[in-house]
Amino acid sequence: MINRGLGAIVGCISALALFAAQPAAAATVIGNPCIGNTSAPDVTILSTANGPGNPLSATVPSAGVITRWTFNVVEIPPNVLSQTLKTFRPTGAPGQFQVVGESSSASMVTGLNTFGTRIPVQAGDYLGSSGTAAGKIVTVFCETTNPGDRVGVFPGNPTTGATAAIIGEEGELQNPITATIEPDADNDGFGDETQDKCPQSAVAQGDCPTVTVDAASVIKRKGSVVVLLTTTASAPVKVAGTVNLGKGKKAKLGSKVQTVTPGKVSRFTLKFPKKLKKRLEELTRKQSLQLRVTASATDLIGRVTTDKLKTRLKGQASG
Ligand SMILES: [Ca+2]
Ligand SMILES: [Ca+2]
């Protein structure tokens, strides 16, 4: 079905041997490292299956972001040849797919070409490609002699967002593309291993924002104090206090953990334990105890910042 116009690309033996195993990592490599050795005009292809002997999955096993792709080609014709990685998602209709992502068009050199990209993918997405040479659609693929290698063929060049149906499927053909898929735990569309320095937050791709906590003031009540504080980013905050009661004794106070929203003053209540209440009742109103307060905020990656303040608690003896 494909017009295998070899054009300027000289047919050659196919090879699966050049794929080097990746070091163990959470990233996954899919696709086929075969060497593109022929081409066809006016078509876009997608890989539907890899034959036995290729350990890589032909389709996307789990959601993530394609951060890198390779394209292997035996020889480049004199006119500049570019190829584009495309990702396809089945629509549910037989043979029909939507183009859900594309790399930029990449100029090829003879041999193994490697490119960075950023294409979010879902489990079950397919890889495909199309190309251009001298302004015309020229798509390079591999003749592999392996009947289990299969591609679907689209007429023309459907682009991102377009829905297209394959006009047929053929064996012993493959797409000379591998894709590295990194996890994207925060679902921000940036691969968590090489593109996202803060995989804990979808709002940050650079270093995770640090949190500054500012304990501003204390409201004193009879059996408790209320600490007012702010933070520079949303973070869980805990407030603790200590009071020296004299004779080596200490009273410890603690708040519940609250998530503080930046730009909003939050209130943390520290209730007095019995021994502090008792000690205050023993002291005259001219006497006082020092309360040391520490507010601790924990950022997205577990870094803790603190702010401290001191205040005095007056004696409450009635006499
Ligand atoms: Ca991410
Ligand atoms: Ca992020």
Residues 6+ away with beta carbon under 8 Å from 75 = 8, 9, 10, 12, 110
Retrieve residue 214's tokens: 């500012």
| pLDDT exceeds 70 at position 25 | no
Residue 19 has pLDDT above 80, yes or no: no
Return the bridge partners of 271, or none: 224
In the three-class reduction of DSSP (H, G, I as helix; E, B as strand; rest coil), residue 164 is classed as strand
Mean pLDDT in residue range 211-229: 95
Report CA(47)–ligand 2 centroid distance (Å): 31
What is the per-residue pLDDT for 120? 98
CA of 205 to the centre of ligand 1 (A): 7
286 Cα–ligand 2 center, Å = 55
**In degrees to the nearest 10, what's the CA dihedral of 34, 35, 36, 37?**
-120
Q: Supply the pLDDT for residue 4.
A: 52
Phi then psi for residue 112, to 5 deg, are: -90, 120
Q: Which residues line ion ligand 1, judged by CB < 5 Å?
A: 184, 186, 188, 190, 192, 196, 199
Q: Which ligand is nearest to the CA of 197?
A: 2
Give 172-189 pLDDT, tens digit per residue.
Answer: 999 999 999 999 999 999
Contacts 24+ apart (CB under 8 A), 244-249: 244/289, 244/290, 245/275, 245/276, 245/279, 245/289, 246/279, 249/275
Please list the residues that pair with 169 across neighbouring strands: 152
In one-letter notation, the amino acid at residue 7 is: G
Q: What share of the chain is helix, strand, coil (3-state, %, to 5)?
A: 5, 50, 45
Distance from residue 12's CA to the centre of ligand 2 (Å): 44
What are 229's two structure tokens?
Answer: 């504080």
| Ligand whose nearest atom lies closest to the CA of 64 | 1
CA of 67 to the centre of ligand 1 (A): 11
Calpha distance 154→46 (Å, rounded): 8
In angstroms, what is the span from residue 192 Cα to ligand 1's centroid? 4
Q: What is the per-residue pLDDT for 239?
A: 98
Rounded distance from Cα 103 to ligand 2 centre (Å): 21
- CA–CA separation, 66 and 181 (whole Å): 4
Q: Given this model, what pLDDT does residue 80 score?
A: 74
pTM for this one?
0.76
Helices marked H in 152-265: none
Q: What is the pLDDT of residues 116-165, one digit of tens each?
A: 999 999 999 999 999 999 999 999 999 999 999 999 999 999 999 999 99
**Position 6 pLDDT exceeds 50:** no
Distance 184 CA to ligand 1 centre (A): 4
Rounded Cα distance, 202 and 23, in Å: 27
213 CA to centre of ligand 1 in angstroms: 26
Q: Which long-range contacts (CB under 8 A, 24 or more apart) does 191-196 make?
A: 191/27, 191/64, 191/65, 191/66, 191/67, 191/118, 192/26, 192/65, 193/25, 193/26, 193/27, 193/67, 194/67, 195/65, 195/67, 195/118
Query: Which ligand has the nearest atom to the CA of 194?
Result: 1
For 67-119, write each residue's pLDDT tens digit: 999 999 998 766 778 999 999 999 999 999 999 999 999 999 999 999 999 99
Q: How far is CA 103 from CA 127, 170, 174, 179, in A?
A: 11, 25, 19, 11
Residue 251 pLDDT: 97
